[in-house]
Chain A
Amino acid sequence: MKQVWTREEMAQKVAARMKDGYYVNLGIGMPTIIPNYFSKDTTIVLQSESGTLGYGARAKPEDPNYDPDIGDAGSAPLLVKPGMSIIDSAACFAMMRGGHLDMTVLGALQVSEEGDLANWKMPTKKVGSMGGAMDLAAGAKTVVVMMEHALKDGTPKIVKKCTYPITGLKCVDVIVSELAVMEVTDKGIVVKEMAPGYTLADIQAVTEPQLIAA
């Protein structure tokens, strides 16, 4: 029986790619649940555009140490973790742009066969805001995209060439969707793992470029 991965299972797939000691920036939205799946034996240090390295779990107003002045990129309040540090925005982005982060996990509107990323502006909008996405795309050692495989009507989001405004060229290394885990290689997109019951043909049907079997 075919069974797509849940968001939680997708988060587990991404978490499994983080090695002990990795420095990671998580985008807003879906990627924020990934820390729930870090293994107890690994230390992953999280960095945020808001200017913090080594932050803890999300805080709730009823937490005794709740502090509205400590938050993540989506302004969700965070708990302080021992060893955490605060940096200003210039230092924070120098950290990203200087190649000091091992991985970033971002959402996407489109990813191309060559790993081009489009995630900051809908073509239907005249203007858009990129926030820190272009900096992360250009600066992180590994860029993982976590997204729904295709649009609701089946239109592929993994395409030969992006038609939406670009965030970064040839920057995506791994795509995790509800259907598959894929790696972007020089030869094309390689399918490393598929959701239960799915075949390469099923995934190809909602993907524009030719997929490669692992």
Chain B
Amino acid sequence: MAIDKVVGSIEEAIADIKDGATIMFGGFTGMGVPAGLLIGIKNKGIKNLTVICNDGTGKWTSPIDVNMLVEAGQCKKIIASFVVLASPKQITATERKVLEGTLELESVPQGTLAERIRIGGAGIGGFYTPTGVGTLIEEGKEKRVIDGREMLLELPLRADFACIKAHKADKFGNLVYHGTARNFNPVMATAAKTVIAEVDEIVEIGELHYDFIHTPGIYVTRIVKSPGKVAGDLK
């Protein structure tokens, strides 16, 4: 197979991300965060972004996460499960911007977020779940009793771009993750038009054993070598 999806730099990897894009970012409390891509997008100053991610609280979990783009005023909307902290003393950039009226936040339960992304990548139009029944998130959602239990209809999430982090890639884009840095990265890889994988190591096609590939290359548009273990990416 003569496919080579490797690009030479972060700048090249994000060259086609424009203002107004919807971007998914992998990562979970600092593990498996595509730190090089995040810094690249911040430095390029791309604006009016709609961001889909699990968490982003900045210094309280990881200095390099989506909080950085929110802080810089580059986001108009964020769809996430953990970007605001409970303590009145800990104010994230997301909380501050929402209060200022410059950012829209859609808080989604973590499992519902993962499943909405999964079905987005699987061509499924929606699912019913008991998660969130009787809470603030049921507002405006269709409710149905299934097997005697109230459930909410949740709809798929898709994006223009997914910026993900993997441990290893071959040049075709087959990916292998390491430890709990896997988290949201594999599902996000399936749910965006363009998938950019930042990886620690790039190997030749055939070097990854087919039995142990987590994300098959069909989902990956391009691969870029991570600029390194940036503080906060890996704690």
A51 to B214, CA, bound (A): 14
Return A147 CB to nearest CB of chain B, in Å.
13
- Mask: chain A, 68-84; 1 = CB below 8 Å from B; 0 = not: 11110111010000000
Interface size class of B (residues with CB under 8 A): 35 or more
Q: Is B50 an interface position by the 8 A CB rule?
A: no
Q: Mark B134-158, 1 if CB is under 8 A from A, else 0.
A: 1111000000000000000000000
Q: Is B110 an interface residue when CB atoms closer than 8 A count as contact?
A: yes
Q: How many residues on the A side are at the interface (Cβ–Cβ under 8 A)? A: 48
Stretch at the interface among A3-11, A133-141, A182-190: A133-141
Partner of A88, one of B80, B86, B182: B182
Q: Does B48 contact A (CB under 8 A)?
A: no
A contact residues around B133 at 8 Å (CB): 138, 168-169
Residues of B within 8 A of A206 (CB): none
A86 at the interface (CB under 8 A from B): yes
Query: Does any Cβ of A come within 8 Å of B73's Cβ?
Result: no
Q: Report B-chain residues with C-beta under 8 Å of the C-beta of A126.
A: 95, 98-99
Interchain CB contact under 8 A, B81 and A121: no
Contacts of B118 in A (CB 8 A): 90
Q: Are B62 and A122 in touch, CB under 8 angstroms?
A: no
Among A51, A52, A73, A122, the one with the most B-chain Cβ atoms within 10 Å of its Cβ is: A51
Closest B residue to A28 by beta carbon equals: B29
B202 interface residue per 8 A CB criterion: no
CB distance from A46 to the nearest CB of B (A): 13
Q: Closest B-chain residue to A77, C-beta based? A: B235
Find chain A residues with CB under 8 A from B94 CB: 127
Residue in A51, A89, A129 whose beta carbon sits within 8 Å of that of B84 in the complex: A129
Cβ contacts under 8 Å, B9 to chain A: none
List A contacts of B183 (CB < 8 A). Answer: 50-51, 88-89
Residues of B within 8 A of A97 (CB): 111, 115, 129, 131
List residues of A (9-41) whose CB comes within 8 Å of B's CBs: none
Q: A interface vs B, CB < 8 Å? A: 48-52, 67-71, 73-75, 77, 86-90, 92-94, 96-97, 116, 120-122, 124-135, 137-139, 165-169
Additional A-B contact list (13), CB under 8 Å, known A68-B31, A165-B135: A75-B28, A89-B28, A90-B186, A97-B111, A97-B115, A124-B88, A127-B98, A128-B84, A129-B83, A131-B81, A134-B111, A137-B131, A139-B131
A sample of 28 inter-chain contacts (CB < 8 A) reads A50-B31, A51-B180, A69-B180, A71-B30, A71-B31, A71-B180, A75-B28, A75-B30, A75-B61, A86-B182, A88-B183, A88-B214, A89-B110, A90-B114, A90-B117, A90-B186, A116-B134, A120-B86, A121-B136, A125-B88, A129-B55, A134-B109, A134-B137, A135-B112, A139-B111, A139-B130, A165-B135, A168-B135
